[in-house]
Structure formats: structure tokens, C-alpha cells
Chains A and B, each alone.
Chain A
Amino acid sequence: MAEEPGVVNPAVRVRGLTRLYGTRTVLDGIDLDMARGEFIALLGHSGSGKSTLLRALTGLDHDTSGHGELRVPDRRAVVFQDARLLPWKRVAANVTLGMRDTDARRRGQQALDEVGLSAHARAWPGRLSGGEQQRAALARALIRNPELLLADEPFGALDALTRLQMHALLRTLHARHRPAILMVTHDVDEAVLLADRVLLLDRGRITLDRTIGMPSPRDPATPAFADHRTAFLTALGISPQDRQQNTSGTKN
């Protein structure tokens, strides 16, 4: 059989991935290649199967059936929408949870430094603000040196201002550590602002796949940005009139 087109030595390779809940097909033949260090954002309506795809890549989908080829790196890390820190462990212990290396403590401190939380290493997670908790969750993911970082609406629960700071932090961390990132988001602007490539998932199929190709940091006011935004909003079924009423994009 002939070699299929795709990235050479990709970080993630998915072919014909199907997932069903009971008899309901949620993912319907997904093909996806992710290059090493590539940042992909995944857009799609609620219920389109974004979380299901992410869970399949994480290996957390015990309750689904299906088939397809799925090749992912061993070193994976997940960031959830809620920071999901264990309330009975201090921040530093949360970051190094389950790590057995001898220098886990030092590396934990280093990871907290990177996300600007070194002062809170000894705090209980319940004392942190929402943004700080999510930064601790980022540190917990990064310390594992992931080749693939999976994030399901990681900033969905944050206020707009905190979200902007988190965007900058995520860009910095991605530039420094170069993991492949697959980030689910509802926010078209967030997707176009951060990702190298943006995918649209519609009823279990990838229906739009655009490489953004603009230098970072990006300016949402540029025509190229507006072009990508329009393409995705149109594909999502948002008409130009709908957009008129909410000029700042999809941010609430």
C-alpha cells in the first residue's frame, strides 16, 4: 500500500478514528497529524465531540467503543477546564504529584517559578484565585516534560483579563518547551491568536483545517486575522448580522 501523505515523524498520528457512546457515533473517521511542537486549536459547537477526541488521545475514554489508528507519545499531560488541584495537598505537592525522581522538589519549585507562583508553593490550593489555580495546573503539566499537551477549554472558567495573561503565559511556555499542544476552545479569537493551526469539528468530523501562519504575537485588528475569524465563524454558522451585535468576537 502506498504511503499516505502526512507529516514526517509526527508527534500524533490519527487515522479513521471512530468513537461511539453506546450506539451513538460521536467521532466519525478523524484523520489528524500533529507535528512535533505544533500548537493546534480545536473549535466546534457544543456536543460536536471535542472532549471525546481529547479523551481518546489521553487514553481516558474507558466508556466508549470504536476503532481507528491512534499513535500518541507516551509523555502526555492534560489541563482540564477546572484546575483540578487536590485540596488536601499544598500547591508544590500538587505540582509534583506522582513524580518519583529525586529532584522532583527542585523541579517543582522551578515549574512554579515559570508560571509565577513560587511565592505560593506552600499554600493550600483553596486559597488561590482561579487564575493562580490554573497556572498551578499548567506547572503540574509542564513538569512532566510532555511531548503532547492536551487542554480542554483550559481558560473557559477565567475572566477576560486573566485569560489574556494566561494567553501570554501559554505562548511563552510553548516557545520554551515546544510540546505539541491540542487545545479545545469555544473562543474563535483565542484559537486564531494562539495556535499554528485551527481545526473545526462538526458532528464528529473535521470540516475545516486552516494554518494560521502569522507571526506571534498576533494583532486581532489585522485583515489576515479578521479573515481567519470570518472563515471559522461562518463555518460555525454565525451570520454577519450576528457578528454585528457582538463586535468583540465571541468573548462574553
Chain B
Amino acid sequence: MPPTAPDNALAERAHQRRTARRYPGRRRPTSRPPQARHGLRLGPKPRLPFAGAVGTLLLLGVWALASATGTLSPRTLAPPWTVPGTFWHLWTREGLAQHVAASLRLALASLAIGVAAGLVLALLSGLSRVGDALIDGPVQVNRSIPWYVLVPVAISALGIGDTMKTTMIALGVYLPVYLNTHAALRRIDARYVELAESLGLSRWTFVRAVVLPGALPGFFLGLRLATTSSWLALVIIEQINATRGLGYLMNQAQSYGQDDVVIVLVVLYTLLGLISDFLLRALERRALSWQRSLGS
């Protein structure tokens, strides 16, 4: 039933009562007509300038302050200002650059192998039923094995050299790539399948134009998780029988109680993680530029 005139009058009076309650002891503000009153803005507001850095800098400040006042003993945690000096010492005297390069080589080689393996397996099992029957089961089993318990298995099978290390890191990497890519391939929108059929697309064109681009966001999600796991796996694996790399330095520093070196190494691992994440985000933005057109 459309609202009639008396209804409107009633509504208007009710509105006036509500407004009077909201501004007690005051007249209704006259500068704005009532219907233009602004509602509460609930959507996300633009970020504050340097929002990403503020919290981090604050924490660093607290750390420095606690160290300076003696609240935080240097034996518990080395003060932050030892980082540049120790870094310089490691760089000039201990050949830090070579160690970083060694760790990077190991991490990137394992990452490349793991990502390639995860992607190929996901494509095989996501695009063919035979592949699905052969591959998906074992991978799901692998998924429920905690990665760390495989370390002794890998050592007894492959020794303690680079082969074992690369294998173990790749094992941590391929899983998130596989799981996310496979799920994305399987989730392909049935409406697009219908469209492809109605256009008479060939199987290959369908895969190339519809399935693969549709699964790309899932692949990138897997890739980012994989990169995070690769650094984590690197830290753990590198310390086994290390003769070079950041893991070797970490072992040394722990044995000799060089807390300031440990802090420098933590900073280095952090930087590696941040830089790789930044690069991946940039790559993803380029590859998925269409997603921004969906208002996400």
C-alpha cells in the first residue's frame, strides 16, 4: 500500500521526536536539512600516512628505550644500536655477502623447484581425471604429515648435503602452491563452462582462455604462502651441518653466545622476507590488474 498523506505527517512528527531526543536541550541543528544528516561511516577509511611503519617504529623505540634505561639487560636482548656495527663487522671481516649469497641460492633454487612441482602437479590433477586419481590422494596424505618429521627421513635417505636441503625446502614449498592452484582449478565457475560450450571453444582454448586465468589468483595466493614457507624451511634446514650461509653464522653465534650477531641475522631474515613479499605483490598486481576493475 502506498503511504498516504496522514502517514507522512505521522512519520514526520515521529522523526521530530527522535531528533529532539538525540539533541536534548538543543534545537535541531538548522544548518543542515534533516535528511542530509550524515550516517556513521562504517566502510574502511583511507590509511593514515606511513601506517605500515608506525607500529614497527614504535616497537623499535620501546626496545631502544628499555635497553638504554637498563630495564632490558643486554644479556636478554642485545640493544638495537649494536645492529649497524655488528653488521659492518660481519660484512667486512666474516664475508657476510658470501653467506647471504649461499642462503639465497639455496632458497631460490628450492623455491623454483617446489613452485614448478606444485604447479605441474596441480595442473595434471586439476585438468585430467586420471591425474586427479593418481596425484591428489598422495598429496592430501602428504599434507597431513608435519613437515618437520620428514627431516630425519630425508637425512637418512639423502644425506646431509645440499640435495637433502633443497628437497626438504621444496617439499615445504610445493604444498601450498599445489593446494591453492588445484582448488582454484576445480572451482571454475560453471557459468563460464556453459559460455565456453555455447561458443564452441576447443578444449585447449577453454583451458587457456578460461580455466588458467581463472585459477591465477589461487596460484598467486599459493605462491605467497610458499615463499613464506621457503624462508621458514631455510632457517631450519640450513642449520643442519652448515658450512656456509646464514644458518652457519646462526650456529656459530649461538655456540659463542654472540647475541648481537643473532639479532643481525634475524634482521637479515626479516629483510629477505619483506623484499620477497614486496616483489611478489608487485608481480601479482601486474598479472591480475583486471581484479581491480571488480572493486576489490
Contact = CB atoms under 8 A, between A and B. Distances in A.
A108 B249 CA distance: 61
B293 A89 contact: no
B267 interface: no
A82 to B, nearest CB: 7
Given A87-B294, A124-B290, A98 B199 contact: yes
Interface string A52-92: 00000011100000000000000011101010101111000
A78 B197 CA distance: 10
Interface in B168-205: 191-192, 194-202, 205
A75 to B, nearest CB: 10
B293 A86 contact: no
Interface in B250-275: none
B80 interface: no
Nearest to A125: B293
A126 B290 contact: yes
Contacts of B194: 60, 80, 84
A210 interface: no
Given A60-B194, A97-B199, A98-B199, A86 B209 contact: yes
A82 B191 contact: yes
Interface residues of A, number: 21
| From B195, B199, B213, B290, residue with most partner A Cβ within 10 Å | B195
B51 to A, nearest CB: 27
Contacts of A88: 213-214, 216, 288, 290
B197 A60 contact: yes
**Interface class of chain A by DSSP:** loop
A78 B201 CA distance: 13
Contacts, number: 55
Nearest to B193: A60
Contact of A98 (B191, B201, B291): B201
A86 B199 contact: no
A127 interface: yes
Contacts of B198: 58, 60, 76-78
A77 B294 CA distance: 27
A97 B294 contact: no
Contacts of B294: 87, 126
A220 B14 CA distance: 44
Given A88-B214, A97-B209, A124 B199 contact: no
Given A97-B199, A97-B201, A98-B205, A124 B293 contact: yes
Contacts of A58: 198
Given A82-B191, A87-B293, A126-B293, A98 B200 contact: yes
- Majority secondary structure of chain B interface residues (helix, strand, loop or mixed): helix
A144 to B, nearest CB: 8
B295 interface: yes
Contacts of A140: 199
Nearest to B296: A126
Contact of B209 (A80, A84, A89, A144): A89
Contacts of B295: 126
Contacts of B197: 59-60
A152 B136 CA distance: 38
B200 A84 contact: no
Interface in B114-167: none
A127 B213 contact: no
Contacts of A82: 191
A27 B192 CA distance: 25
B191 A86 contact: no
Interface in A98-117: 98
Contacts of B201: 97-98
B242 interface: no
A78 B198 CA distance: 6
Contacts of A78: 195, 198
Interface string B274-296: 00000000000000101101110
B104 interface: no
A152 to B, nearest CB: 11
Nearest to A99: B199
Contacts of A125: 293
A76 B197 CA distance: 11
B287 to A, nearest CB: 10
9 contacts: A78-B198, A80-B195, A86-B192, A86-B213, A88-B214, A88-B288, A98-B196, A98-B202, A124-B293
CB-CB nearest 3 A-B residue pairs: A126-B293, A124-B293, A78-B198
Given A89-B209, A97-B209, A140-B199, 4 more contacts: A86-B192, A86-B213, A88-B290, A126-B293
Interface of A: 58-60, 76-78, 80, 82, 84, 86-89, 97-98, 124-127, 140, 144
